[in-house]
Amino acid sequence: MIDTTAQAGEGQNVNSAQPVGRVRTDGSTGSDLVNGVATAAVADAIPAPAIKGVDFLERAHASSLWKDSWNRLKRNRLAFVSAIFIGVVSLIAIFAQHLAPYSYETENVNLILAPPSWAHWLGTDDLGRDVLSRLIYGSQVSMAVGIFTAIVSLAFGTVYGAVSGWLGGRMDALMMRLVDILDSIPTLVLLVLIKVMFDAMSTNINPELKAVAGVLLALSVFGWLMLARVVRGQVLQAKQMLYVESARSMGASDRWILFRHILPNIMGPIIVVITALIPANIMFESFLSFIGLGLQPPYSSWGVLANEGWKTIRTYPHLIIAPGLALYFTMLAFNIFGDGLRDAWDPKAK
């Protein structure tokens, strides 16, 4: 004979394991949960450790996704080497004052247009300034512009696209029409217009900071548009998922669902877009400096160095080779790293 008393003593939550729709001994039914009505009896019937266990499994699953993506990225040797190269260039830019053998504005009239030597590894320019030192200092401006504008695009574009995709309807259409209007303006025209207007303002700040601020403002105005489109599309797709419906049925607010559940799940495409924006911003800054609308001598950036080297490209080609190679390899590294991140974040990758 089966001892029902012993079975009841071994598991006190027998009622919580009953199928949905069966009448519980406490008077509640499983249909209460289906209809979203959480009575006190049903809430008491669900053990607290089970809820904590679900939260632990959710965090473990998210951690597993990050770990799998990191492992796939490490297996991509080309992308991993590119990430190391980007890190080295960033460290050079941060510690430029300690690494550069000379100041970027120190002139030596006795060594004008000197070829590469032990004293000057990349030679000197038409004013006797060390090209290597100016190249190292130039990395500060180029990397700062690329990374800062990407951060601005990440902050504004992500929020703008997420809100637009989540609200939907007329508000979504209105917000995206604004993006279409800004995106229809030629990028170069917009950059030049904003830069010229900013430079025309009478400010008492340092000329170098003023030039860099103008470039940052010009690039930040339109840099978030592509990211906003990507985030909006991802949110429109993600808000139809079951985990969003589950969170909504449990009474979670829209802001909580959007920023706590949806955005962490679409960070992969966002990171990939950011890695594509950084080299584009570096290229735009170099172009503006090359045509004379960015940083001006004696201040240094890779675009300024390319402009100075272009004037003597036939007789002293080493002056343009150094900044050209720096731009080429930095942009190549960011593009390869972005492709590696895209593959690493692909859930179908093995």
- Tell me, what's the pLDDT at 288? 81
- Tell me, what's the pLDDT at 174? 93
- Tell me, what's the pLDDT at 4? 45
Q: What is the 3-state secondary structure (H, E, C) of the chain?
A: CCCHHHHHHHCCCCHHHCCCCCECCCCCECHHHHCCCCCHHHHHHCCHHHHHHHHHHHHHHHHHHHHHHHHHHHHCHHHHHHHHHHHHHHHHHHCHHHHCCCCCCCCCHHHCCCCCCCCCCCCECCCCCEHHHHHHHHHHHHHHHHHHHHHHHHHHHHHHHHHHHHHCHHHHHHHHHHHHHHHHCCHHHHHHHHHHHHHHCCCCCCHHHHHHHHHHHHHHHHHCHHHHHHHHHHHHHHCCCHHHHHHHHCCCCHHHHHHHHHHHHCHHHHHHHHHHHHHHHHHHHHHHHHCCCCCCCCCCCHHHHHHHHHCCCCCCCHHHHHHHHHHHHHHHHHHHHHHHHHHHCCCCCC
Residue stretches of the chain with pLDDT short of 50: 1-58, 60-61
- 19 and 115 fall within a common domain: no
- 171 and 217 fall within a common domain: yes
- Tell me, what's the pLDDT at 344? 76
- Tell me, what's the pLDDT at 213? 78
The pLDDT tens digits of the residues spanning 80-129 come to 899 999 999 999 999 999 999 998 888 888 888 888 888 889 888 888 89
* Within-domain flag for 69: no
- What's this model's pTM, rounded to 2 decimal places? 0.71
- 164 and 293 fall within a common domain: yes
- Tell me, what's the pLDDT at 6? 44
- 121 and 12 fall within a common domain: no
- 279 and 191 fall within a common domain: yes
- 30 and 178 fall within a common domain: no
Specify the number of domains making up the chain.
2
Q: What residues make up the domain containing 26?
A: 4-45
- Tell me, what's the pLDDT at 51? 39
The pLDDT tens digits of the residues spanning 1-28 come to 444 444 444 444 444 444 444 444 444 4
- Tell me, what's the pLDDT at 85? 94
- Tell me, what's the pLDDT at 348? 52
